[in-house]
């Protein structure tokens, strides 16, 4: 499929679904909160509920998580991506994931062999990131990095889309970038999540990015890296879900701080949640 055809298809999907949004996103979330810093998941339980109600499959959370229902543990990507994370930190996260039955442990590529070793024999998946956090490396580099982490034991890959190419209208570049990484993942039975970095995109760009990820064969779309100027919003997740439909996953990246936030997301339909310190949530819920 050539670039012109991709542009036409993406534009048609974006136009149709954006028109259906009526310009208001998720009900109740069109208003801007005083002092808004675009960190709804961390700061506002009401908007966190709306994010999951909009259709998020996973939601990323920061290290200071507090409470969650234990039944939700299997939805959580237990995450440690901070650059100063040590071997001891990574081993601790793996042991927590095994104990509580989290969906995966998500780490930077350097730690994949260690995580694979620590999780061997458990149902917890090994997750890592590619082209992280900027998405601006070459496709060849992303594919090579993907193949290396899969060889080392990764089972899930969160890649960052080429944000600059999307904003330049180079849709063929974006689709090819995702498709080649998706093919590398699927050859090894791994799944691919595409990080859009929604804080850097307008609604039309978000819609087109989702359409391209779907066309390219990705398994999930994800809002954010957690390293940009903002995280997930309910309106973003609603838009993403409308475009990808029920077949693909949607992961909201931000920060979950309370049991109320997390329950609200899952009650609305989330099937995966990203968190750095999920243990505090699980233990609080069990109490």
Domain boundaries, the chain: 3-18+41-69+127-286
pTM: 0.79
Least confident of 96-110, 179-193, 255-269: 255-269
Greater confidence (254 vs 43) lies with 254
Closest CA to 250 of 57, 48, 50: 57
- Facing residues of 220 across strands? 193, 249
Percent of the chain residues topping a pLDDT of 90: 47
Fold designation for 3-18+41-69+127-286: TIM Barrel (3.20.20)
Mean pLDDT confidence for 26-54: 53
Parallel/antiparallel/unpaired status of strands 104-107 and 76-80? parallel
The residues that are catalytic are: 158, 222, 251
What is the mean pLDDT of the segment spanning 256-266?
Answer: 54
Tell me the mean pLDDT in the region 26-45: 49
Q: What is the pLDDT of residue 5?
A: 73
Picking from 266, 276, 242, the residue whose alpha carbon sits closest to that of residue 13 is 242
pLDDT score recorded for residue 275? 46
Q: Who contacts 191 (Cβ-Cβ below 8 Å, separation ≥6)?
A: 155, 156, 157, 185, 219, 220
With beta carbons less than 8 A apart as the criterion, state whether 59 and 248 touch. Answer: no
Cα–Cα distance measured from residue 227 to residue 276, given in angstroms and rounded to the nearest whole number: 14
Q: Distance (Å, rounded) from C-alpha 213 to C-alpha 209? A: 6
What mean pLDDT, rounded, does the chain reach?
Answer: 80
Distant-in-sequence, close-in-space partners of 160: CB < 8 Å, separation ≥ 6: 129, 130, 131, 132, 133, 134, 135, 194, 195, 197, 225
* 283: pLDDT strictly greater than 70: no
CA distance 47 to 29: 7
Look at the chain and count its residues.
Answer: 287
Q: What is the pLDDT of residues 143-172, one digit of tens each?
A: 999 999 999 999 999 999 999 999 999 999
* Contact in structure between 190 and 203 (CB atoms under 8 Å): no
Distance CA 258, CA 270 (A): 16
91-116 mean pLDDT: 94
3-state helix, strand, coil in the chain (%, to 5): 50, 15, 35
């Amino acid at each position: 499929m050539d670039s012109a055809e991709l542009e036409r298809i993406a534009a048609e999907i974006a136009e149709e679904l954006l028109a259906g949004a009526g310009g208001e996103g998720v009900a109740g979330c069109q208003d801007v909160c005083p002092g808004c810093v675009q960190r709804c998941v961390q700061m506002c339980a009401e908007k966190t509920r709306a994010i999951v109600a909009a259709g998020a499959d996973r939601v990323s959370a920061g290290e200071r998580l507090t409470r969650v229902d234990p039944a939700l543990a299997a939805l959580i990507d237990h995450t440690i991506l901070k650059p100063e994370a040590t071997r001891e930190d990574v081993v601790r996260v793996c042991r927590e994931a095994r104990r509580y039955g989290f969906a995966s442990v998500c780490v930077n590529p350097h730690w994949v062999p260690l995580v694979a070793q620590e999780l061997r024999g458990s149902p917890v998946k090994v997750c890592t990131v590619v082209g992280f956090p900027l998405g601006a490396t070459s496709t060849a580099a992303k594919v090579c990095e993907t193949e290396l982490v899969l060889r080392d034991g990764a089972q899930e890959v969160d890649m960052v889309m080429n944000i600059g190419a999307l904003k330049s209208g180079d849709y063929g570049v974006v689709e090819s970038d995702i498709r080649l990484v998706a093919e590398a993942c699927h050859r090894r039975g791994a799944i691919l999540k595409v990080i859009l970095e929604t804080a850097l995109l307008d609604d039309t760009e978000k819609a087109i990015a989702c359409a391209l990820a779907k066309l390219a064969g990705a398994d999930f779309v994800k809002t954010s890296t957690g390293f940009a100027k903002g995280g997930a919003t309910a309106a973003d997740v609603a838009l993403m879900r409308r475009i990808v439909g029920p077949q693909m996953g949607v992961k909201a990246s931000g920060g979950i701080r309370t049991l109320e936030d997390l329950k609200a997301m899952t009650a609305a339909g989330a099937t995966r949640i990203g968190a750095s310190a999920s243990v505090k949530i699980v233990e609080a819920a069990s109490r």
